[in-house]
Amino acid sequence: MKKVSLYACLLNLSLLVLLPYSKASQADKLDELILSKSSKNPPVTLSWAEEDALKTHSSAYVAPQEGLSQADKIVALPGQPYGVNFDQYSGYVTVDAVAGRALFYYFVESPYNPSTKPLVLWLNGGPGCSSLGYGAFEELGPFRINSDGKTLYRNKYAWNEVANVLFLESPAGVGFSYSNTTSDYEHAGDKSTAKDAYVFLINWLERFPQYKTRDFYITGESYAGHYAPQLAYTILVNNKFSNQNINLKAIAIGNAWIDDVTGTKGILDYLWTHALNSDQTHELIEKYCDFSSENVSTICANATRTALIEKGNIDFYNIYAPLCHDSSLKNGSTGSVYDFDPCSDNYGEAYLNRPEVQLALHAKPTNWSHCSKLDRQPNYHPTRHRVSHRQWHWIVDIQASSISLNGDTDARVPVTSSRYAINTLKLPIQVPWRPWYSGNEVGGYVVKYKGLTFVTVRGAGHLVPSWQPARALTLILSFVYGSLPPSSPWKGLSKSSPTFAMTGN
């Protein structure tokens, strides 16, 4: 019997079903990586012992940064609306001068007392997808892109309402980030991504020294379920063993892919519990599928294939959302933050490939795309699926709090997968399951464990801030305040003082 993971069987069909209808997305890149693990030539993975070698690190590369922040200041983005009341910056930070490797960033300060606000880093997943194209311009940034691919409109629920937000395109080869050494692309992986992101941060904080002592938070989604804890671990180890310190307070990850076993079971259980496949198919999966085994029976493989066929042609990343049926650019229409356009990827690609936009962003002329092909490189090095669990425990043990949040309409990394993954950590519950509120509505549900809080977001898909921007902003505000989200209805955010009455944890 051929050895292949159950998740690979599931993905093999899901990619055939999904890819003809859309360009490869952040979640599709996750699929491709997991599928590659079961190929004839799977990627080399790194063990926890090798991760611990970080303790014998040398000091991070630091280059002179004086004056570069002002050179990175954006005068205005093409097509931005009138009345922009915050400073924005973008440019490159060199992380390896010998290789000529540099990472691209976009930074937006808060319009409200930025000197008192924390610093929040956002990482998209993939692996190999852009935090600029997704995070900044489709999710939590201050602007969204209109359907003409030329102009922008404001996102009133942007996270820079409550924090200073830094978007990083990582690793090199993603978006505008690059290397002059092509072998860097061939040998990219989770461990090198964490190292480069750490070197980026050390140098960026030299460029913006006013943020050196600021409270710092790591946020992200999808494969950032690996990126975020690995970067947090790298920061905490270097804080302990070097004289370079980053004031990391907590990490928050949305719809995070943690490991293949709990992820696969969670997907298939989600399909059945949301009436997307039949009782008969689910009974076969329950009886014949062992999610932890590499030996997949024919009955199990056929049942998982049937489960995906039975769901039909829907958006796997938001099961109740419409598909993109007309990806052409459309003049004269202004988007709405309350109605996320499923064709937004197309508008973003058009906008970020405009020469005047790349010039305004201080980017090198680039054929920009949302996701790279780094994970398809034969030498790409992901970490083994249980490494993230070990890192979660290490982070919890040293008192750095974490939040795992899930949009409850995402079937690709569903709430069931997150719950199963969290349950393997066997953390004691400190605050039991309860609803939380965004304004007058239930925003979702929350349970607090020791060192880790799990939050669901009602009505959100894989890209939580895209589909539920107000609820996502409520969560990030409670996150940086170190509180659970509100336990009762409240009036909402105040423009003059964006805060809310936090009622009971």
Residue 380 has pLDDT above 80, yes or no: no
Residues 162 and 300 in one domain: no
Residue 375 has pLDDT above 90, yes or no: no
Q: What is the CA radius of gyration of the chain?
A: 22
Dihedral sign for Cα 497, 503, 504, 505, please.
negative
CA dihedral of residues 446, 449, 451, 457 (deg, nearest 10): -20
Span between the terminal Cα atoms of the chain, in Å: 52
The answer to whether residue 74 sits within a structural domain is yes
Q: Where are the beta strands (DSSP E) in 8-97?
A: 88-96
The answer to whether residue 331 sits within a structural domain is no
pLDDT tens-digit readout, 47-83: 433 444 444 345 688 999 999 999 999 999 999 999 9
Selection from 339, 314, 348 nearest residue 124 by Cα: 348
Q: Residue 81 carries which DSSP code?
A: P
**Worst-scoring range by mean pLDDT, 76-85, 209-218, 236-245?**
236-245
pLDDT tens-digit readout, 321-355: 999 999 999 987 789 999 999 999 999 999 999 99
The answer to whether residue 443 sits within a structural domain is yes
What's this model's pTM, rounded to 2 decimal places? 0.88
Q: Name the average pLDDT for the chain.
A: 85
Residues 221 and 123 in one domain: yes
Q: Give the C-alpha separation, 90 to 207, whole Å.
A: 12
In this prediction, residue 190 has a pLDDT band, given cuts at 50, 70 and 90, of confident
Question: Is the distance from CB of 207 to CB of 68 less than 8 angstroms?
Answer: yes
Quick one: pLDDT at residue 187?
Answer: 82
The answer to whether residue 365 sits within a structural domain is yes
Selection from 502, 468, 499 nearest residue 488 by Cα: 502
pLDDT tens-digit readout, 220-231: 998 888 888 889
Quick one: pLDDT at residue 13?
Answer: 45
For residue 60, give the 3-state DSSP assignment. Answer: coil
Question: Is the distance from CB of 250 to CB of 401 less than 8 angstroms?
Answer: yes
Of 167 and 292, more confident? 167
Selection from 56, 33, 54 nearest residue 231 by Cα: 54
Give the position of tokens 């906008």.
351
pLDDT tens-digit readout, 308-321: 999 999 999 999 99
**DSSP string of 100-145, one letter each residue:** TEEEEEEEE--SS-GGGS-EEEEE--TTTB-IIIIIIIIISSSEEE
Give the position of tokens 């409240």.
490
Question: In the structure encoding, which two tokens stand for residue 478, read together?
Answer: 């409670």
Q: Give the C-alpha separation, 229 to 391, whole Å.
A: 6
Residues 215 and 283 in one domain: no
Residues 6+ apart with CB under 8 A from 260: 5, 7, 34, 37, 385
Residue 142 has pLDDT above 90, yes or no: yes
How confident is the model over 476-493, as a mean pLDDT? 88
Q: Give the C-alpha separation, 139 to 145, whole Å.
A: 11
Quick one: pLDDT at residue 90?
Answer: 98
Q: Give the C-alpha separation, 454 to 456, whole Å.
A: 7
Residue 218 has pLDDT above 70, yes or no: yes
Quick one: pLDDT at residue 388?
Answer: 54
Question: Is the distance from CB of 43 to CB of 380 less than 8 angstroms?
Answer: yes
Residue 413 has pLDDT above 70, yes or no: yes
The answer to whether residue 29 sits within a structural domain is no
Percent of the chain with pLDDT over 90: 65
Quick one: pLDDT at residue 268?
Answer: 96
Q: Give the C-alpha separation, 444 to 164, whole Å.
A: 25
Residue 412 has pLDDT above 90, yes or no: yes
Q: Give the C-alpha separation, 133 to 352, whole Å.
A: 8
How confident is the model over 3-7, as a mean pLDDT? 47
Q: Give the C-alpha separation, 227 to 233, whole Å.
A: 10
Question: Is the distance from CB of 215 to CB of 120 less than 8 angstroms?
Answer: no
**DSSP string of 218-246, one letter each residue:** EEEETTHHHHHHHHHHHHHHHHHHSS---
Residues 213 and 103 in one domain: yes
Residues 383 and 254 in one domain: yes
Please state, in angstroms and as integers, the Cα–Cα distance from residue 100 to each residue in 97, 183, 366, following that order.
5, 12, 16
- Full domain range(s) for residue 292: 277-311
Quick one: pLDDT at residue 319?
Answer: 97
Residues 300 and 405 in one domain: no
222, 402, 418, 466: which one is catalytic? 222
How confident is the model over 165-178, as a mean pLDDT? 96
CATH code, 214 = 3.40.50.1820
Quick one: pLDDT at residue 5?
Answer: 52
Quick one: pLDDT at residue 425?
Answer: 87
The answer to whether residue 19 sits within a structural domain is no
The answer to whether residue 52 sits within a structural domain is no
**Worst-scoring range by mean pLDDT, 191-200, 389-398, 462-471?**
389-398
Residues 281 and 253 in one domain: no
For residue 26, give the 3-state DSSP assignment. Answer: helix
Helices (H), ranges, 245-342: 260-273, 279-288, 298-310
Residues 398 and 449 in one domain: yes
- Of 250, 285, 311, which residue sits at a domain end? 311
Question: Is the distance from CB of 377 to CB of 186 less than 8 angstroms?
Answer: yes
Residues 230 and 362 in one domain: yes
Dihedral sign for Cα 434, 440, 442, 444, please.
negative
The answer to whether residue 14 sits within a structural domain is no
Give the position of tokens 């003082």.
497
222 an active-site residue? yes
In this prediction, residue 446 has a pLDDT band, given cuts at 50, 70 and 90, of very high
Q: Give the C-alpha separation, 130 to 145, whole Å.
A: 15
410, 418, 438, 466: which one is catalytic? 410
Question: In the structure encoding, which two tokens stand for residue 295, read together?
Answer: 């030996």
Of 31 and 289, more confident? 289
Selection from 28, 6, 212 nearest residue 119 by Cα: 212
Residues 298 and 349 in one domain: no
Question: Is the distance from CB of 41 to CB of 476 less than 8 angstroms?
Answer: no
Quick one: pLDDT at residue 172?
Answer: 94
Q: Give the C-alpha separation, 117 to 338, whole Å.
A: 26
| Helix, strand, coil abundance in the chain, percent, nearest 5 | 40, 20, 45
Residues 301 and 403 in one domain: no
Question: Is the distance from CB of 282 to CB of 272 less than 8 angstroms?
Answer: yes
438 an active-site residue? no
Residues 180 and 253 in one domain: yes
How confident is the model over 92-116, as a mean pLDDT? 97
Percent of the chain with pLDDT over 70: 80
How confident is the model over 261-267, as a mean pLDDT? 92
Tally of domains within the chain? 2
In this prediction, residue 12 has a pLDDT band, given cuts at 50, 70 and 90, of very low
> How many CA atoms does the CB half-sphere of 455 hold within 13 Å?
30
Residues 6+ apart with CB under 8 A from 465: 139, 140, 157, 159, 472, 473
Quick one: pLDDT at residue 270?
Answer: 97
